[in-house]
Amino acid sequence: MSKEKFEGVYVYIEQRKGVIQEASLQLLGEARKLAEKLKTEVSAFLIGYQLKKLVKEPIYYGADKVIYVDNKECANYNPEIYKTVLVQLVMKYKPEIFLIAGTKYGRELAPSIAADLETGITADCTAFDIDEKGNLLQIRPPFGGRVHAYIITPEKRPQMATARPNVFPLPERNVSRKGEIIKEETEVSKPSMALIKFEKGSEAEIPIEKAEVLISFGRGFNLEDAHLLEELCDFFLKSSISCSRPIVDAGLMPRSRQVGQTGKTVRPKLYLAIGISGAIQHLAGMKDSKFIAAINKDPNAEIFKFCDFGIIGDYKEVIPLLIEELKKKQAPS
Amino acid sequence: MLKIIVGIKWVPDTADVKFDPVKGTIIREGVESIINPPDLNAIELALALKEKYGGEVYVISMSPPSAIKGLKMAVAMGVDKAFLVSDRKFAAADTLATSYTLSCAIKKIGSYDLVIFGEETIDSATGHIGPEVGEMLGIPHLSYVTEVQEVDLQQRTIKMVREVEDGVEFFQANLPVVISVGVGINTPRYPIPLRRLLTELETNKYIETWALNDIGADPEKVGFKGSPTRVVKVIAAPMPARRLEIREASGETVKLFIKRLKEAEII
Ligand SMILES: Cc1cc2nc3c(=O)[nH]c(=O)nc-3n(C[C@H](O)[C@H](O)[C@H](O)COP(=O)(O)OP(=O)(O)OC[C@H]3O[C@@H](n4cnc5c(N)ncnc54)[C@H](O)[C@@H]3O)c2cc1C
Ligand SMILES: Cc1cc2nc3c(=O)[nH]c(=O)nc-3n(C[C@H](O)[C@H](O)[C@H](O)COP(=O)(O)OP(=O)(O)OC[C@H]3O[C@@H](n4cnc5c(N)ncnc54)[C@H](O)[C@@H]3O)c2cc1C
């Protein structure tokens, strides 16, 4: 197939249990910019079951067209079924560019679609542009974010990429925007893999990627002292508790609270790292925070090379001091 | 009897990687290479399943011959056999071409029940290989698996657990499947000294090397030629500049800290 036959910027809009994931709406804003440069349209693919309430949302966030598949078999995400459906949509609509939010589902789904279509795919992009030849320039941060790689897919179409969540701003929701809505039927064959159970994790009141202050702890923190974290948290508005990967691997906190390369990317106003050494994979997730502070008893900890304010000491002594001072500030003088 | 194939990548230890600030390139000389960390967890999972259900564990790596060191380590950990998939024509492969090459090698191995990969590498970190290989083998794939609960050899089914952002999912699949696992799902065992010695003495018995022709791959689909993506340039991304005000803990330090937070309009 010649690449001229492929047109338009398409975004896969991920919904989970009837809720559209913000990461895919963020991509609509980026898709609009690319479409304007290419003088083309933005379309959204949406799949699931009983989607009536959702189908217009992508339009409100910037899509010109929504193509959706509403099928009972698509009620829950299943990598095999979703892949088959999306491949059929891509074959029919022939996107020039096809973007997928790099959530866990997206990072799993996107490469399997690319492999089926035998096209190229770039992972976890943090910026996009159009080069002088009209190719999608895909910029991504491998090596724990220490380099930026510029990648293109010059011949094959669609040009596929996943994008890291919470890097692109959420476009404004505009309910007066109009667009076309198309319902598609696709074949869904019986999968050889099935979801048999889902256990919802306990989600923080404020998800860590939305918090303005993150009190984050690592292996150097003993959870017997958890009350210290909570007390500290209470001094800040829009604050939440996050952690490093070993804490999650040990089953002490849900995966949704993990910061880093294989966790979430956060950029709060204040990131306070307590008993976190500052491994490259951890830094990858929080290095763009506005103000980074650290409490660590090891003066040579890596984290001290990447923070605005560092306190060398045992958190058991430092946090109570901090709480005491913060209380003084709060008390009316 | 379970036949398990584990894919491993021999990677520069990124904690040591330096970047040439002028040319913007990665300096690989003098950097230690290691088995990509989650691939050790993949090997551990495979060996644990073998101990439980019986069977064989093979590892494969598409790599220049330098990866032999990693393959030997895998054998010393208890893997039965290792395959080095190596050919000049495989050079500069993107993930599609890498996955194609690996899937040809896996087909050449023949029968298998489970293929295990790491979740992602510490160098280019795409996490593409597992899903792509699954697709190319025409079997289901699941990423972010934290546990294999049960394999039913009679029914030829497997039960798996995995973690996503908002919770834990339990899947059941027909064998064979491809799964990807992350660091921390288990504690990889150490190489056994005696096996390490055996691998050195009888390398050819444990490690086989396959080139393009051996795996029957289409030369148009491997290496640079078979790669639809092109890395145009790589530039060093400096960490954002920080104030680096580091103080010993004291009442004064804490006061100063709070002052800084006020200045930054955080409190
Ligand atoms: C492929 C891959 C992906 C990864 N992804 C991630 C990821 O997404 N996120 C992530 O966080 N990690 C990730 N890791 C793990 C990462 O490499 C580090 O191992 C991890 O971040 C270390 O966690 P930590 O800082 O909590 O623990 P440690 O490195 O053990 O550090 C503990 C720190 O606490 C300090 N400490 C101890 N006691 C006290 C005390 N009483 N008071 C004050 N300080 C104290 C110590 O000095 C030390 O610096 C990944 C690793 C790999 C290989
Ligand atoms: C800076 C840079 C950026 C790149 N970005 C992209 C990109 O966005 N898209 C793209 O298609 N290519 C990209 N590449 C090419 C890519 O690095 C190679 O194709 C690489 O061989 C495999 O990708 P990965 O390391 O990301 O593997 P991942 O998919 O992250 O690896 C997952 C698992 O697959 C297994 N595995 C990986 N490689 C092998 C192997 N050679 N042999 C056996 N098992 C293996 C391991 O178990 C590993 O844990 C990039 C290369 C560079 C240098």
Q: What residues make up the domain containing A220?
A: 213-330
Q: Does A2 fall in a domain?
A: no
Shortest distance, CA B200 to any CA of chain A (angstroms):
32
Based on the domain organization, do A98 and A231 belong to the same domain?
no
Q: Is the model's pLDDT at A320 over the cut of 60?
A: yes
Among candidates A111, A150, A311 on the partner chain, residue whose Cβ is nearest the Cβ of B131: A111
Ordered domains of chain B (ranges, CATH): 2-221 (3.40.50.620)
Angle at A299 between CA A250 and CA A283, to 5 degrees: 50
Based on the domain organization, do A123 and A23 belong to the same domain?
yes
Q: Is the model's pLDDT at A63 over the cut of 70?
A: yes
Cβ contact A203–B233 (<8 Å): no
Q: Does A253 fall in a domain?
A: yes
Choosing from A132, A162, A183, the residue where a domain stops is: A183
Based on the domain organization, do A144 and A292 belong to the same domain?
no
Q: How many domains, chain A?
A: 2
Based on the domain organization, do A115 and A179 belong to the same domain?
yes
Q: Does A190 fall in a domain?
A: no
Q: Is the model's pLDDT at B79 over the cut of 70?
A: yes
Q: Which residue of A has its CA nearest to B103?
A: A115
Choosing from A134, A165, A183, the residue where a domain stops is: A183
Choosing from A134, A168, A183, the residue where a domain stops is: A183
> B174 to chain A: which residues are within 8 Å by CB?
192-193
> A149 to chain B: which residues are within 8 Å by CB?
124, 231, 233-234
What pLDDT score was predicted for residue A189? 84
Based on the domain organization, do A123 and A261 belong to the same domain?
no
- Tell me the per-residue pLDDT of B152-211, one tens digit each, with 9 for 90 and over: 999 999 999 999 998 999 999 999 999 999 999 999 999 999 999 999 999 999 999 999
- Tell me the per-residue pLDDT of B92-131, one tens digit each, with 9 for 90 and over: 999 999 999 999 999 999 999 999 999 999 999 999 999 9
Atom of ligand 1 nearest to the CA of A298: 47
Please report which ligand is nearest the Cα atom of A310.
1
> Is the Cβ atom of A310 under 6 angstroms away from ligand 1?
no
Shortest distance, CA B218 to any CA of chain A (angstroms):
14
What pLDDT score was predicted for residue A2? 64
Based on the domain organization, do A34 and A88 belong to the same domain?
yes
Based on the domain organization, do A168 and A227 belong to the same domain?
no
Cβ contact A123–B227 (<8 Å): no
Q: Does A91 fall in a domain?
A: yes
**pTM for this predicted structure:** 0.94
